[in-house]
């Protein structure tokens, strides 16, 4: 099997707010992981765990407090000329959680989608610009007539499709999808995720898919990272994480997923997670360790040996 190409390397990434003050918040605290070209990397955790901040720091919406983000061999947070920044912004795009808040209500949909086309000079004429807009609308399951309407004339699911079309307009390689379905009805969520899966295959895209719904993340992701209080506590291939969750926090998240069967749902026992049982401020050396190939857990040496033994059975 050919070796996969690393598209993104995140090394000891830190994003602290109010750094050095009494109310300092370590939103992202020494997080490291890689994303390979053509894969979907899922990032999950409860609200406030730092997953959205991780995505926003990767794409430079926030300046990193520390660590490195290496995209295609280049340090994203290093000093860059305007031309370099422009090129980076074309390669990496973001789909936001609230499709209405991220669309300018005063612009027609054609102008919303074509914003990136205009900035990067991707159309030689007005006709070519509109052709690209029409093609993008059709790509995301809308039609030409929608180009002359305003954002408030669309449903939440349609607005999210417009957000996806806008991200695709500059022909990116990598898309960060920040909770792209959490504001949508359940019936619409599957449509949007299926659209994203289809586009990923057709356009050879790489995604960082951020969400708190573990069942939906499993459906779309190749690998999944679990975050808790600014730290990555577990990272594994999607099937492996579901079959063999090692960190107690991951186990508690998985135990909370409701079953479609009402009988088993009545008898289901949810596992609770007590952070005090993992006092990571102690003297033990807590590291992100590889228990089995590709399956990493934040743990002490003693826990690591327990997980190793558990995985060998």
Contacts of 26 (CB under 8 A, 6+ apart): 14, 16, 230
Separation CA 268–CA 111 (nearest Å): 50
Of 184, 216, 244, the one marking the end of a domain is 244
Cα-Cα-Cα-Cα dihedral sign, residues 12, 211, 8, 68: negative
Instruction: Give the residue numbers spanning the domain of 158.
Output: 6-244
Same domain, 279 and 295: yes
Separation CA 213–CA 191 (nearest Å): 15
Contacts of 235 (CB under 8 A, 6+ apart): 33, 223, 224, 225, 226, 288, 295, 296
pLDDT tops 60 at residue 282: no
Question: What's the pLDDT score for residue 51?
Answer: 95
Residues 256-284 have a mean pLDDT of: 66
Question: What's the pLDDT score for residue 280?
Answer: 54
pTM: 0.91
Q: Tell me, yes or no, whether 126 lies in a domain.
A: yes
Separation CA 283–CA 288 (nearest Å): 16
Same domain, 178 and 303: no
Q: Tell me, yes or no, whether 184 lies in a domain.
A: yes
Q: Tell me the DSSP string of 255-270.
A: HTSPPS-HHHHHH--P
Tally of structural domains, the chain: 2
How far is C-alpha 191 from the chain's CA centre? 18
Separation CA 292–CA 24 (nearest Å): 35
Question: What's the pLDDT score for residue 183?
Answer: 80
**Ramachandran quadrant class, 204 (left: phi over 0; alpha: psi -120 to 50; beta: rest):** left
Residues 61-73 have a mean pLDDT of: 93
- What letter does residue 286 receive in the DSSP assignment? -
Residues 297-311 have a mean pLDDT of: 90
Contacts of 279 (CB under 8 A, 6+ apart): none
Same domain, 220 and 130: yes
pLDDT tops 70 at residue 284: no
Answer with the residue of higher pLDDT: 9 or 286: 9
pLDDT tops 70 at residue 297: yes
pLDDT tops 50 at residue 140: yes
Give the CATH number for residue 237: 3.40.50.300
Same domain, 194 and 304: no
Q: How confident is the model at residue 1 (pLDDT cuts 50, 70, 90)?
A: very low
Residues 112-134 have a mean pLDDT of: 94
Three-class HEC string of 226-247: EEECCEEEEEEEHHHHHHCCCC
Same domain, 228 and 136: yes
Of 219, 244, 269, the one marking the end of a domain is 244
Same domain, 161 and 50: yes
Same domain, 215 and 306: no
Strand partners, 22: none
Same domain, 233 and 258: no
Strand partners, 288: 298
Residues 137-150 have a mean pLDDT of: 94
Q: How confident is the model at residue 32 (pLDDT cuts 50, 70, 90)?
A: very high
Q: Residue written as tokens 């005090």?
A: 276
Same domain, 87 and 159: yes
- The mean pLDDT of the chain is 89
């Amino acid at each position: 099997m050919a070796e996969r190409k690393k598209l993104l390397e995140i090394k000891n990434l830190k994003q602290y707010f109010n750094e050095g003050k009494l109310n300092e918040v370590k939103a992202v605290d020494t997080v490291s992981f890689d994303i390979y070209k053509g894969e979907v990397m899922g990032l999950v955790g409860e609200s406030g765990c730092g997953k959205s901040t991780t995505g926003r720091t990767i794409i430079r919406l926030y300046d990193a407090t520390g660590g490195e983000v290496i995209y295609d061999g280049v340090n994203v947070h290093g000093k860059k000329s305007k031309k370099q920044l422009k090129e980076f912004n074309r390669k990496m795009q973001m789909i936001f959680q609230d499709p209405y808040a991220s669309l300018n209500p005063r612009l027609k949909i054609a102008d919303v989608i074509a914003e990136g086309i205009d900035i990067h000079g991707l159309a030689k004429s007005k006709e070519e610009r509109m052709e690209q807009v029409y093609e993008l609308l059709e790509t995301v399951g809308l039609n030409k007539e929608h180009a002359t309407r305003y954002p408030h004339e669309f449903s939440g699911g349609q607005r999210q499709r417009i957000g996806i079309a806008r991200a695709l307009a500059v022909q990116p390689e990598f898309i960060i999808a920040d909770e792209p379905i959490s504001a949508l009805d359940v019936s619409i969520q599957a449509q949007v995720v299926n659209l994203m899966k289809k586009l990923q295959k057709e356009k050879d895209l790489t995604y960082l898919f951020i969400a708190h719904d573990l069942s939906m993340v499993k459906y779309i992701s190749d690998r999944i990272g679990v975050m808790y209080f600014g730290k990555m506590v577990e990272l594994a291939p999607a099937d492996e994480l579901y079959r063999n969750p090692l960190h107690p926090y991951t186990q508690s998240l998985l135990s909370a997923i409701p079953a479609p069967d009402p009988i088993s749902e009545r008898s289901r026992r949810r596992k609770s997670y007590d952070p005090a049982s993992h006092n990571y401020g102690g003297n033990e050396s807590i590291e992100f360790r590889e228990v089995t190939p590709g399956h990493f857990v934040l743990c002490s040496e003693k826990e690591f040996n327990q997980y190793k033994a558990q995985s060998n059975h």
